[in-house]
Structure 1
Amino acid sequence: MTEEYSDPWAAEAIRRVRADGPHHTPTPLRRLSLPAVRGIDIYLKDESAHPTGSMKYRLVRAMFTEALASGALTEGTPVVAATSGAVAVAGARFARLLGLAFTAVVPAGTPVRALAGIEEEGGRWQRGELPPAAVQDEARAVAGRLGAHFLDHFTDAGRAVAACGEPTIADEVFEQLSGEPHPVPEWIVTGAGTGATSAVVGRHLRAHGHPTRLAVVDPENSAYFPAWASGCDDYTTGMPSRIPGIGRPRTEPGFRPALIDLVIPVPDAASVAAMRWLRTAGTEAGPATGTNLWGTCHLAARMHEAGARGSIVTLIGDSADPYLETHLDPSWVRARGLDPAPHEAVIERFARTGHWPARQGSG
């Protein structure tokens, strides 16, 4: 049977989006060596291997596919997003692939390196005129004036991944673990920005009947931990996260608390400390990966103390390169009142002994 499409451009566009990069090859699953917790295997799912160097590439690819399939994105339509981070870089890449103009509305104070990443993928940016918390609304207004498609990753990413995101990150993890000593992990640990990644993992675990538990790590100022702990679906803090890619001042529509077994609040200084420790262990990753690792070590220590065996999987969200002048710059860190040293001592001791102080359990 021959498939016929009412919109040949959209059909070709979907083919191009799906064919971009090594999408048919799972991102690597790397084992982290921690001999002190013998019998507990820790794996890092390396999402920095995507063409734009971030796990957001996976979400944005699904969003473009879904928008094309639904007719929301058509030939010649500009694309607008409200972000200066990895979503903007991936959005610029896919727009360029389809010959579409892309504009990111970015908050004031966005680092030059982040803006360069958007430009390198063929996009343009403009600084928001309103406070950072209002950039999303400002970008929506810009899209309306331009007749553009608004790439709303906070609202649309979860739906797009569910509809057009296969294979999902969870599909890949379980396929890659199939030949390992503990093929069904005790925990999968992820952060929450849009909430889409934790939601897709949680749905996968329940749909397949896995006993694996899902933990979400949450940085300072974020609404997700208090929302989960209190049961308040519209919890807000009004404070921006200092850990790019995760944490939000409000609970976003894609966050699904019912799918999550545990939310671990993590101090920002601990995220920086864990990111630095990973560098000494040979893994270059961003601060959100540090947040993930901090939560992972806490859970591994709990298993170790209980004499349990098994595996834990967490994510490398992006590489270290975008953070050389920020989270990896000691002067930048000090200027923000962060002191990673005590947390570095905790994680170094854990790596040597498997011991995790009780007071450090949730930050």
Structure 2
Amino acid sequence: MSREWAAEAIRLVEADANRSADTHLLPFPLPARWGIDLYLKDESSHPTGSLKHRLARSLFLYALCNGWIGPDTTIVEASSGSTAVSEAYFARMLGLDFIAVMPAATSPEKISLIEFQGGKCHLVADPTAVVATAQRLAADLGGHFMDQFTYAERATDWRGNNNIAESVYAQLALERYPEPAWIVVGAGTGGTSATIGRYTRYRRFATRLAVVDPEGSAFFPAYEKKDWTVSTGRGSRIEGIGRPSVEPSFQPAVVDRMIHVPDAASIAAMRAGSAVLGRRVGGSTGTNLWGAFGLIAEMLREGRGGSVVTLICDGGERYADTYYSDAWVADQGLSITPFFHAVDLFLSTGEWSGGS
């Protein structure tokens, strides 16, 4: 493999980071009398529109520095959408072919985004077969399987180097609560929660990490049972988070609390949050907000002030025909009204019913 080609490829990927501004940390309006601040790290402002841009950049650098990618390597990834969009962007930057293996139920908007970035989509009917299919396809093509679910937690430098955790704390430095009580994230690969959990411990912060998990995902039941072989046998309806089995990148020891979030609650919180922010956010952001609202209500009951941070994982324009479609929600057999009322009650009074 050409060292000269690899050096130039690394320069191109690093240059993308160098010319990209950091993502914003947006305040989410809460009543001043609560004495609690909620912030949303807006990862939708990356060049490819999601949190996964960070992951894709790290995965490419990791693979390049390990000598796994050359000038003729076809890149293959197992992805429900956003990681594939970002990896397709970097593959095209390096002049490489890219194939995303994904569940057939992935939103048409995400498929179009992957194709816009020059990638090809290989759809699989069984969501539990996506990884195995990607492995076989990469082997057949003599390509490289990026394997985000294995390498997410090791490809990012969790001690710093402008990772997402370091960025959050730097942006909170002048706020009244610069050390958050909670950071709330979902788990797809588990890489983001691993990075944040490790960083807070390394920097000796008291911040606790909550991981929210949607229906159909193995992370929450496995965490409850302390059984990491748990498998649900089905995929998540909330794209980008949740997995049928516990992935190697998920590091449960750095997680302080797992929160199970019904899919109807994710969609209700997504829509309510979008109304407050004046812009559409994605379904996994709704999952994050639902978890953050419950923790803030708990802080209120206990009379504790402080700050809570979560993520806008991607924009809602990718889900116009799914999460924002009343017809799609009805076809899924979901009733979001009770959860929407729960969010409305919380935002006006601080009381939390959890949708019950």
Amino acid at match of 1:89: V
- TM-score by length of structure 1 reads 0.94
Residue 238 in structure 1 maps to residue 233 in structure 2: yes
For residue 193 of structure 1, what is the aligned residue in structure 2? 188
Farther off after superposition, 338-347 or 228-237? 228-237
Give the CA RMSD over aligned residues: 1.8
C-alpha distance in 2 between matches for 1:79 and 1:325: 29
Measure, in 1, the Cα distance between the counterparts of 2:91 and 2:328.
33
Which of 281, 285, 292 in structure 2 is aligned with 1:285?
281
* Distance across 1 between alignment mates of 2:293 and 2:191: 23
Structure 1 counterpart of 2:34: 38
Deviations 1:218-251 (A, max 9, x none): 1111111111111112211112110001111111
Tell me if structure 2 keeps the 8 A contact 1:36–1:353. Answer: no
2:173: which partner in 1?
Answer: 178
Change over 3 Å in CA distance of 1:344–1:37 after alignment to 2? farther
Q: Which residue of 2 aligns with 1:16?
A: 12
Query: 1:3 aligns to what?
Result: none
Q: Does the residue aligned with 1:179 lie in a helix, a strand or coil?
A: coil
How many Å apart are 1:21 and its aligned residue?
A: 5.5
Is 1:335 aligned to residue 331 of structure 2? yes
Which of 197, 202, 212 is equivalent to 1:202?
A: 197
Contact map agreement 1:194 1:255 (CA 8 A) in 2: yes
Q: Are residues 1:217 and 2:235 paired?
A: no
2:123 aligns with: 127
Q: TM (normalized to structure 2)? A: 0.96
Percent identity between matched residues is: 49
Structure 1 residue 178: Cα displacement? 0.5
Task: State the Cα distance separating 1:26 from its structure 2 match.
Answer: 1.8
Q: Distance in 1 between matches of 2:251 and 2:19?
A: 26
Q: How does 1:1-363 map to 2 (within 5 A)?
A: 7-20=3-16, 25-35=21-31, 38-128=34-124, 131-162=126-157, 166-281=161-276, 282-357=278-353, 360=354
User: 4+ residue stretches of structure 1 with deviation over 6 A?
Assistant: none
Please tell me whether the aligned partners of residues 57 and 87 of structure 1 are also in contact (alpha carbons under 8 angstroms). Answer: yes
Per-residue CA distance 1:303-357 (angstroms, 9 max, x = gap): 1111111100000010001100001100100111111100000100111111112
Q: Distance in 2 between matches of 1:142 and 1:291?
A: 32
**3-state SS of paired residue (2:258):** strand
Q: What's the CA shift for 1:12?
A: 1.1
Q: For residue 264 of structure 1, what is the amino acid of its counterpart?
A: I
Judge conservation of contact 2:77–2:134 (CA < 8 Å) in 1: yes
- In 2, the alpha carbon distance for the partners of 1:312 and 1:111 equals 30
List alignment gaps of at least 5 residues for structure 1: 1-5
**1:37 touches 1:354 (CA, 8 Å); kept in 2?**
no
Report the residue type matching 2:50 in the other structure: S
- Between 1:104-113 and 1:132-141, the stretch displaced more is 104-113
**What amino acid is aligned across from residue 82 of structure 1 in structure 2?**
A
8 Å contact 1:36–1:350 — kept in the other structure? no
Instruction: Classify the secondary structure of the residue corresponding to 1:162.
Output: coil
Give distance in 2, aligned partners of 1:314 and 1:350: 17
